[in-house]
Each structure stands twice: as structure tokens, then as C-alpha cells.
Structure 1
């Protein structure tokens, strides 16, 4: 199902993916998890609500976001 995953789908309904959270996660369950989708896309979910909705991004959207993150464009969010 991962190829057909749409925004807002229950994260637990995206079959065949492995959800990963950052090693920087603080252990209280409050973190974001990501999963790689077929075709290079990415799904994101809130680890506190694993059956909640997932945000689904195309490969190009994921690449743009991750590139911006690596370059510090979003540091103001937690800074």
C-alpha cells in the first residue's frame, strides 16, 4: 500500500514500511517518525499517535524539505 499512501491516511495502514525515529528522541514518546515509501517518497507521523494520520510527501518534496533542514533553514522552529 505504500505506493498509494495519501495524506491523512492512518499511519498504521501504510503497509510494508519501517517507521524510524531520531536517535535524539528524548524517550518520552514525543517525537516524529518517518518511513521511506516506494518511489522515494516519505511518510511522517507523530510517535504518540501511531494510528493517527500520516503526512505523505513525494520524493521531490521530501528532498526539498530534507535539503532545507540540512542547511539550517528551519532552525528557528526549535531555536
Structure 2
């Protein structure tokens, strides 16, 4: 596998291990995540499984989840 980096084709990360933690009744447009072997998290759009992946550090993902739990993303609703 090539070096894992932001914007790489999500398909290059393999088909296994992708989860849809934020799936909803929106016609299949879901955010999918995959925990990478080094602890980072890859994020992709389910409708474009081969499109670009956002690669987040484990600390960045933990901060995002904590902030969302504390209402910091409520403005998006």
C-alpha cells in the first residue's frame, strides 16, 4: 500500500473495515469511517467509495467526537 495521506483515493484503503456510524434516512448518503492500523481514522462519502479520503489523527477524531457530544456542531442542524 502507498503512503496513507489526505485526499488519497479511499478505495486504496481497501473495502473491508468501513463503518457507517452516522447512517440515517437520507437515501444512502452516509459518512463512512475506517480505523487504520496506526490509530488514525479515514473518512469517506458512501456514495463515492473510491473518492478522496480525509485522514484524521486519533487525537483530532477524539476532539471532534467530544465537541459534537458537547453541542459544538449543533449549528449544523
TM-score (norm 2): 0.84
SS at match of 1:60: helix
Equivalences for residues 58-77 of structure 1 within 5 A: 58-77=57-76
Residue 34 to residue 60, structure 1, CA distance change in 2 (3 Å) = same
Unaligned runs of 5+ in 2: none
TM-score (norm 1): 0.82
Deviation at 1:15, TM superposition (A): 3.2
Residue 17 to residue 58, structure 1, CA distance change in 2 (3 Å) = farther
Task: Spell out structure 1 runs of 4+ moving beyond 6 A.
Answer: none
Output the CA distance in 2 between the equivalents of 1:64 and 1:25: 23
Deviation at 1:32, TM superposition (A): 0.5
